[in-house]
Amino acid sequence: RLALAAQVVKSYFALRALDEQVELTRRTVLLREEALGLQRKRYDAGVISEFDLRQLEAETAAVRAQLPPLQREREREEAALSVLLGRTPKQVFESGITVRLSFDEQPEAAVVPSGLPSELLLRRPDLVQAERGLAAANARLAVARAEMFPSIALTAALGSESAALSNLFKSGAGIAAVAASVAQPIFAGGRLEAQSAAAQARERAALAEYQQAIRNAFGDVRAALSAQSRSRESYDAESTRATALGETLRLARLRYQNGVASQLDVIDAERGLLAASVARIEALRAHRAAVADLFRALGG
């Protein structure tokens, strides 16, 4: 269920990102077609050359050609989401789920808080199952947790990896050696020598499963924290690039109006801004997907 919920969230944000990209491209096409209409009039009046006109026609067609692939991808993503939700694409669309929230909100709302306790991981299905296995093997769960489960803060400022979590993965220490030595007896059945071979095997298997579940849990969280931090950095960089290129386009248009720059300069600026805006949307989608993966790693 936890994996399904995370997949639904990721599919939803992928769909919303495609909505934004389709709308952005459609607006760009409309602006290009409007500009093309004006330039045709200028061409008819002998103000611009045929070369300039054909160049703008080609650029307009190039942007228009970007729409069908985006629309097809959106249809595929909507179908995938409908399968996850158990609804038809029409029901998904009519429910308003694809338009209810603004995708382009700042991602601060998804920032992971600092000081998240590692005990959150105890909700993970694999750890729950491993602890049940220990209990079935007559283990003292409180002792097992105290001896083997690292009790630390997982996150630092802005949801980054804490120093304590990082130290767990340093060579020769921490998670690699979790439960290598146990100070207290975990199993209530007495010394291993006094037990049957079958009982010993069950206890060892349950203990090994618990150890591996702990390693997997902390490893998953570390990877997910890294992914969400890096995706946030990418989003910030793409946002800065899009803002700068938006200003570049404004200046290019101003220079063109004053006869200082060519139409090609404006076209280049428009092309750059469209690419940067699409990349920014994709970076935001990746960030939200990474946060969904993190909450899955944390156990929900």
- Residue pair 119/186 in contact (Cβ under 8 Å)? The answer is no
Delimit the domains of the chain by residue range: 1-104, 108-300
Cα separation, 13 vs 235, whole angstroms: 15
pLDDT at residue number 40 = 93
Q: Of 158, 146, 140, give the one whose Cα is nearest residue 119.
A: 146
Give this prediction's pTM: 0.81
Sequence-ordered list of residues with C-beta below 8 angstroms from that of 26, at least 6 positions apart, any chain: 67
Q: How far apart are the C-alpha atoms of 10 and 75, rounded to whole Å?
A: 16
pLDDT at 59: 92
Closest to 151 (Cα-Cα) out of 115, 184, 176: 115
Alpha-carbon span 35 to 48, nearest angstrom: 13
Quote the CA–CA distance of 31 and 60 in Å, as a whole number: 9
Assigned CATH topology for domain 108-300? Outer membrane efflux proteins (OEP) (1.20.1600)
Within the chain, which residues score under 50 in pLDDT? 183, 192
Question: What is the reported pLDDT for 85?
Answer: 87
Whole-number pLDDT of residue 171:
57
Q: List CB contacts of 52: < 8 A, sequence separation 6 or more.
A: 39, 43, 263
pLDDT value for 192? 47
Q: Comparing C-alpha atoms, which of 261, 252, 218 is closest to residue 127?
A: 218
Helices (H), the chain: 2-44, 50-65, 67-85, 89-95, 125-136, 141-148, 163-168, 197-257, 263-298
